[in-house]
Structure 1
């Protein structure tokens, strides 16, 4: 086997091993439920939330910094999203249960530890 191919295979193996051993914040999120996924949560966040809460949850200070949202307060998060809070609109039935769970997976994975 040529040396270039051996190096390429070693690089792929190293990348796969790193992905398994060093998961990112999304992979460390709680186990998905039903059809929930952090990837769907990211997509929903980008479409509905980023306008106010900022790209990658870095806001301009005018809205709540979701990176500081307590991971143990999922019910509060879901209530805020569905019923609204202060200047935040109520999204009510905009999100299906699996979409709301996906949004939580994404936000809670990015939140700072308590």
Structure 2
């Protein structure tokens, strides 16, 4: 909202609002996604409903299309694409999950 209020010319160019790890997921998979534990901190979410809050988003003058698809922490939200695989050495098709906290991330990696 700071950008909207102080740099409106930049705000007008926004296509997606992503957290840093969501941007990495996008680069790995091509998917615009976030997971609920991170999304809840963005203050745009109806937490009990596990979805973006239409009321909050509209009051802030945002469009829901600017936000990624919501996933639970353990859900697969994409797979490593061919291009990312060629750059990183990761295997194409490797599942990508959101994770939440160190313990959840450890479990997610071990399960893969």
TM normalised by structure 1 equals 0.23
The structure that has the greater radius of gyration is 1
Indicate the structure with greater strand content. 2
TM normalised by structure 2 equals 0.23
User: Relative contact order, CA 8 A, sep 6+: which one is greater?
Assistant: 1
Indicate the structure with greater helix content. 1
